[in-house]
Structure 1
Amino acid sequence: LSAQGKQWRGVWACSTRRKETSSSSSVGGSCGGKHGETWKALAPLQLETPSGQLLSQLLKDHPHLLPAAVDQQLESLIAERDEPPSTTGADPILYRRIAELKAAERRNSVEEIIYALVVQKFMDSGISLISSVSQADPVTGKVDTWPKQDQKLVRVHSPEAFEMIKNHLALVLGNRLPGTNAIAQISKLRVGQVYAASIMYGYFLRRVDQRFQLEKNMNMLPFGLNEESNGGQRLQGRESTRADECEGGYSFPDVTSATMPGSVKTCKLKAYVESFDQDTLQRYATMRSKEGVNLIERHSGALFAKPRIQIASASMAAASDDEMIRLSFSGLTSLVLEAVTVGSFLWDVENYVDYRYHFVTN
């Protein structure tokens, strides 16, 4: 390892000693509770695996050591996965069960390694993840008490991708302006489902935008995309269908109007997506890994104080006794922008981890 890696080895050794002498419910020593509180300020989801707990501790205390720590964790997982099986004297059924449990543990570790890297990308961008959508302001009753970081979130995306994000916001907000402070009372579960679907949209958007930017730089875009498309009405009419395909067929009756606002802008990236055949579109709109799906559900659930937000459910219907929250439309805008950015970072990190660990299955 580099000098940074050698420094990390010392942190690893110290963390290992603490782990051996602590209870399983804490990261290390008597500071587990304090660590949990500090981590909550960085991200809503508490990491549970040994790898996840170590990386969350490093993000809190030594974030510059995280890349070396991640590489070391992945190397350990690769060595464990590639270790030849030893069935000498073992019951085949018992051995198979043990192997399945170890494989599940590795998947959980990879999942939390990915999450730690997503959190680091937010930190590197100077953006604080919203920690909770449960604590209401005692005066206004609103839950959106977090600082607005919309401009920082916008800068993460290319200009073409941001045009698509504005179209997505128009679908979510309906005819309401993104910056309005008007307050709505909305089902918390429903907003959580919108958030989870927006993460998936951000994942899809980063995926197609990377291909678009590459082909644009190489002058390989399909004919006509170097000029502004004149098919605005056609594209606008298909936007709701496209969003349904990219977000699992969800609709958002609590937070959208029945019609699309007339100001939705056609952009080159949308025209590029329109050029895909159905098979290509379906492939790009599909999450590539179970780990990614689990992270979306767990992160969204932790943010909204739910066990997890199911993104594969057939219906968006909320339970009749679901908690209602007061949320401004500017706050909803911030939530959607953050969710799209989570999805974009998730795509980036998933590629980074898969390049080393090869966990994504085609």
Structure 2
Amino acid sequence: MNYRRIAEVKEKERQNTLEEIIYCWILFKFMENDIQMTPALSSSGGPVRDVSSLPNQEYKLQSIHSQDALEMIQNHLNLIMGEQAAAPLDTVVEISNLNLGKLYAASIMYGYFLKRVDERFQLEKTMKTLPPSLNEKLFTERDIKPNPFMDMESLVRMTPDGEMVDVEEDEETNPNKLRSYVSRLDADTLQRYATIRSKESVSLIEKQTQALFGRPDIKVLDDGSVNAKDGKTVTLTFTELTHLVLEAAGFGAFLWEAESHVESKYHFVNS
């Protein structure tokens, strides 16, 4: 009898069961907030038709997050859209199906990170233990290891490559701002909060992305980057792109909650 094989099968069954529990929790949270999730895309269709068929849910998707986290998500959206951020919401853009999927996956991980770090921030704010404002806040991507919410290929980046960010004292270094709080985290702490803690959650991110955008071999690598081969080009409006990013960020926030809840009973996360 191959005991190693039996153990592998049992471990796979355990992982699948945990994934199902976590995913059901996430679906319940979307239902609880009366949010319809984007349906899977058909082989002959694209995200424009499917996303535009949904009711306007921007307010509901925003209400998932604290005001502090929402400000960072808005900045995340502005950086994705770049110079076109001020363009009308009905502006049509082209993006490969692959990059749209990578953007969705990276936004899930960004939502996961924000929920995780925002819980710590809100606790410290409540306990009045936030560090004082700093006058010299400059940081660069070069000081931070690769992580899920700075995926250059999927256009999800906090700053242009190597650019120094000069944070204004009246807002960004305000200790009561989440963005300022995040900017003051050391590289190791930032990396830890940006890392998906379990293989079950990584698998769910891959499966959710593939369910929407097909299976172009989208993979979440160990360093948190998203890797895949190119796909077809699709068109969508900024409104539809915003919807997808907000939905993904919400999925990530719920993923953190679900993972933490299930971990309290089954103890399966890495750290």
The answer to whether residue 154 in structure 2 is matched with residue 245 in structure 1 is no
Aligned to 1:360: 269
- Report the 3-state secondary structure (helix = DSSP H, G, I; strand = E; otherwise coil) of the residue aligned with 2:84: coil
Aligned to 2:186: 277
Give the one of 206, 210, 215 matched to 1:306. Answer: 215
Gaps of 5+ in 2: none
Aligned to 1:153: 61
In the alignment, residue 126 of structure 1 is paired with which amino acid? D
Aligned to 1:218: 127
- Report the 3-state secondary structure (helix = DSSP H, G, I; strand = E; otherwise coil) of the residue aligned with 1:175: helix
Distance 1:155 1:183 in 2: 26
In the alignment, residue 176 of structure 1 is paired with which amino acid? Q
Is the Cα contact below 8 Å between 2:98 and 2:216 reproduced in 1? no
| Cα distance change of structure 1 residues 242 and 119 upon mapping to structure 2, 3 Å threshold | farther
Distance 2:183 2:102 in 1: 26
Is the Cα contact below 8 Å between 2:106 and 2:226 reproduced in 1? no
Cα deviation 1:252-276 (Å, max 9, x = unaligned): 3599x9799xxx9847111111221
- Report the 3-state secondary structure (helix = DSSP H, G, I; strand = E; otherwise coil) of the residue aligned with 1:148: coil
Distance 1:308 1:119 in 2: 24
Is the Cα contact below 8 Å between 1:171 and 1:240 reproduced in 2? no
- Report the 3-state secondary structure (helix = DSSP H, G, I; strand = E; otherwise coil) of the residue aligned with 2:236: strand
Aligned to 1:195: 104
- Report the 3-state secondary structure (helix = DSSP H, G, I; strand = E; otherwise coil) of the residue aligned with 2:220: coil
Cα deviation 1:245-302 (Å, max 9, x = unaligned): 34364333599x9799xxx984711111122122111111111000000000000110
Is the Cα contact below 8 Å between 1:161 and 1:269 reproduced in 2? yes
The Cα shift of 1:329 comes to 1.3
Aligned to 1:32: none
Give the one of 249, 266, 269 matched to 1:340. Answer: 249
Aligned length: 256
The Cα shift of 1:308 comes to 5.6
The Cα shift of 1:132 comes to 2.7
Is the Cα contact below 8 Å between 2:61 and 2:250 reproduced in 1? yes
Is the Cα contact below 8 Å between 2:62 and 2:246 reproduced in 1? yes
TM (normalized to structure 2)?
0.83
The Cα shift of 1:166 comes to 1.0
Give the one of 2, 5, 8 matched to 1:100. Answer: 8
| Cα distance change of structure 1 residues 307 and 274 upon mapping to structure 2, 3 Å threshold | same
Distance 1:302 1:277 in 2: 36
Give the one of 39, 47, 64 matched to 1:131. Answer: 39
In the alignment, residue 274 of structure 1 is paired with which amino acid? S
Segments of 4+ in structure 1 off by > 6 A? 229-232, 239-243, 257-260
The answer to whether residue 200 in structure 2 is matched with residue 291 in structure 1 is yes
